[in-house]
Amino acid sequence: MELAMNVVDLTKRLVAFDTVNPPGNEVAAMKFCADLLQSAGFDCDLQVFASATRANLIATRGVGSGAAIGFSGHLDTVPLGAADWKYPPYDGIVANGKLYGRGSSDMKGGVAAFICACLDPFTPPGGIAILLTAGEETGCDGAQMLARGKNLPRIGALVVAESTNNALVLGHKGVIWLSILFTGFTAHAAMPEQGVNAIELASRFIARLGDLKLGDAHEVMGKPTYNVGTIQGGLNTNSVPDSCEITLDLRTIPKAQHVELIDKIIALAGDDATISPLLDLPPVWASPDSGWISKVADVVAANTEHIFSPTSVNYFTDASILTPVLGNPPTVILGPGNPRCAHKTDEWVDIERLYQAEIIMKRLIEIW
């Protein structure tokens, strides 16, 4: 396989794989990346699962004594949506200085940038480690499988190439998704006093949420938040509903204790509710005082227009899972995608950002 892979061409190749999640089907794209990296001297561990349709990839070169510089990205994408696309979503059309296609921004362009940077034969002390995952869009499923495997390489710093327009981002909020099922009992709607209305129980809980103390604000991320995402209940119009389920999204900040927050929700919901966790991902935050962060900031400033200021993003990443299991190395979120067009119809990545990102990733390897 050709080693001198152009970052634009590689992004096109990755976009051409239909990895919409669900169902994902990342295995073909992972095999392609493994073949490319093996041709550049990487040892590749392709971990196939889910009836051979899904896979993670661990690729390393020069690891051993010392800690490697790590790069992480996911290859699944969100669905296309109902709207028509001007540009075919898997063709990687280049127009107006942009490359269009599902996953171009989130985050196949970022993956292409660090893979192209790693095709250079230079290997720093400690080596290079690449972690490619499946299933990030549905709750970091692939990263959780990697974490359970306990065979990850030693990594001293991690770059997650999610969409930041090549700005240096130091973290993101954590997330808790909860299913809260309220149970009443049914009766004829003409005699509602004979039943217990589960929708009313849920409504009273939602009203009480406004008084819930989620914690103090973070100096960069701001306040923790909650959102009631869905509500489903009722049998028919003329019956008292005996069941109502809501889903709740909590976004948390560093030092938040997720167990304590869930306990608060349980107490607030009362005995008529059954609470089931759906997703629990901790926040990620790298200290701006870290020496490695300063080096990354210098590289970004030398190759982009961005002036560093500690900042975070609103979306979550695989770093929620990978950073803790790797021993909490300094982790940055840094990639060429535009966060404003991720998940949208006619998703795109700026061509100039792709070239910038490749240069940045190469330089980070050089100074490791």
pLDDT digits (tens, 9 = 90+) for 67-107: 999 999 999 999 999 999 999 999 999 999 999 999 999 99
Indicate if 181 and 140 belong to the same structural domain.
no
Helices (H), the chain: 7-15, 27-38, 109-118, 141-149, 198-209, 258-269, 291-303, 319-325, 351-366
Structure tokens at 241: 């509903």
Last residue of a domain, one of 281, 313, 346: 281
Helix axes 351-366, 291-303, angle to 10 degrees: 140
pLDDT band of residue 4 (cuts 50, 70, 90) is low
Residues 193 and 321 in one domain: no
Is the domain of 201 the same as that of 289?
no
How far, in Å, are 54, 171, 220, 261, 296 from residue 215 at the CA level?
Answer: 38, 18, 14, 9, 31
Q: Are residues 11 and 136 both part of a single domain?
A: yes
pLDDT tens per residue across span 320-360: 999 999 999 999 999 999 999 999 999 999 999 999 999 99
Full domain range(s) for residue 191: 174-281
Position 2 pLDDT exceeds 60: no
Q: Are residues 264 and 324 in the same domain?
A: no
Domain count, the chain: 2
The residue that leads in pLDDT, 149 or 44, is 44
Show the tokens assigned to 326: 């790797």
C-alpha distances in Å from residue 229, one per residue of 213, 258, 262, 315: 19, 19, 17, 16
CB-based contacts of 210, cutoff 8 Å, min separation 6: none
| CATH of residue 111 | 3.40.630.10
Q: Pick the catalytic residue: 106, 136, 137, 242? A: 137
CATH number where 262 lies: 3.30.70.360
| Domain end call among 281, 297, 319 | 281
Tell whether 189 and 167 lie within a shared domain.
Answer: no
Classify residue 349: in a domain, yes or no. Answer: yes
The tokens 């040892």 sit on which residue? Answer: 43
* pLDDT of 201 higher than 80: yes
Do residue 149 and residue 53 come from a single domain? Answer: yes
Residue 112 shares a structural domain with residue 252: no
Are both 217 and 312 inside the same structural domain? no
Residue 2 lies in a domain: no
Say whether 137 is catalytic.
Answer: yes
Domain stop point among 262, 281, 300: 281
Q: Return d(Cα 207, Cα 334) in angstroms, integer.
A: 39
The per-residue pLDDT for range 120-150, each reduced to its tens digit, is 999 999 999 999 999 999 999 999 999 998 7
Which tokens go with 114? 């660090």
* Model pLDDT, residue 3: 60
Between CA 117 and CA 126 the distance in angstroms is 17
Residue 308 has pLDDT above 80, yes or no: yes
State the burial class of residue 188 (Cβ atoms within 10 Å of its Cβ: 0-12, 13-18, 19+).
exposed
Please give the pLDDT value at position 129.
98
Residue 197 lies in a domain: yes
Q: What's the mean per-residue pLDDT of the chain?
A: 96
- Both tokens assigned to 172: 């993101």
Does one domain contain both 128 and 35? yes
1 part of a folded domain: no
